[in-house]
């Protein structure tokens, strides 16, 4: 278990801030010991939550060549056939995974392939399970195409708490299995759009483990 690179500055900054506040209370309000110990306890709890949020477990998936893995930890909240208007402009199977603040927030590619499309969209901050969050919230869209021709769209979506989406890929990049393509800070959602006919291996309510849970399987 390591700490994700996205959390190192935040953890260092929060530690320095907490320390300065505690020192200030200790020296300038020496009679308010209750406040010092209250803040100390609160800071310890908050820092542990930060450590938990930015944890990065070491995971290596052993999925088959035609299997797609979950891009993140979370809970499956949507499985439906929809019209995908941004890139494919046709009917696709949408699978949505909601990530709570307690989940690991690294985002892994669901399959190997070449990045054909990357676009960041500014937007709203509706709660992540809102039906319109996929098209109206701040989001990033990444499309990966296999050499066999099948393509998958992965969409990172900000929520009411998450206000920072980070992505590490550009058009033309090659993604291999176990490759992280991004990170969402403090809870949100990832949508995956697959060709109609793809065999889905999860159901609504299932809990996924990023880069481990078999999400679906390409059909020849």
Question: Catalytic one among 96, 100, 188, 220?
Answer: 188
- 100 labelled catalytic: no
Burial category of 36 from C-beta neighbours within 10 Å (exposed 0-12, middle 13-18, buried 19 and up): middle
Closest CA to 193 of 94, 113, 108: 94
Q: How far is it, in rounded angstroms, from Cα 103 to Cα 206?
A: 14
In the chain, the largest separation of any two C-alpha atoms, in whole Å, equals 73
Which DSSP string corresponds to 111-163? S-EEEEEEEEE--B---TTSTTHHHHBSEEEEEEE-TTS-EEEEEEEE-SS--
CB proximity list for 149: less than 8 A, separation 6 or greater = none
Q: How far is it, in rounded angstroms, from Cα 78 to Cα 118?
A: 23
3-class state of residue 99 by DSSP: strand
- Which residues are known catalytic residues? 188
């Amino acid at each position: 278990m390591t700490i994700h690179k996205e959390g190192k500055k935040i953890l260092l900054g929060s530690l320095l801030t907490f320390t300065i506040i505690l020192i200030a209370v200790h020296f300038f309000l020496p009679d308010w010991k209750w406040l010092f110990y209250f803040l100390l306890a609160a800071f310890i709890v908050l820092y542990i939550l930060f450590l938990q949020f930015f944890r990065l477990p070491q995971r290596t998936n052993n999925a088959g060549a035609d299997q797609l893995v979950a891009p993140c930890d979370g809970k499956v909240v949507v499985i439906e056939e929809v019209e995908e208007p941004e890139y494919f402009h046709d009917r696709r199977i949408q699978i949505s995974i909601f990530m709570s603040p307690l989940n690991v927030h690294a985002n892994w590619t669901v399959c190997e392939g070449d990045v054909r499309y990357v676009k960041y969209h500014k937007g709203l901050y509706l709660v992540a399970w809102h039906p319109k969050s996929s098209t109206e919230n701040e989001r990033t869209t990444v499309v990966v195409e296999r050499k066999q021709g099948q393509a998958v769209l992965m969409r990172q979506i900000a929520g009411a708490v998450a206000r920072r989406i980070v992505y590490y890929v550009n058009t033309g990049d090659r993604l291999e299995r176990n490759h992280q393509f991004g990170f969402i800070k403090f809870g949100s959602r990832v949508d995956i759009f697959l060709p109609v006919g793809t065999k889905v291996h999860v159901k609504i309510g299932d809990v996924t483990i990023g880069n481990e849970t078999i999400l679906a399987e390409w059909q020849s």
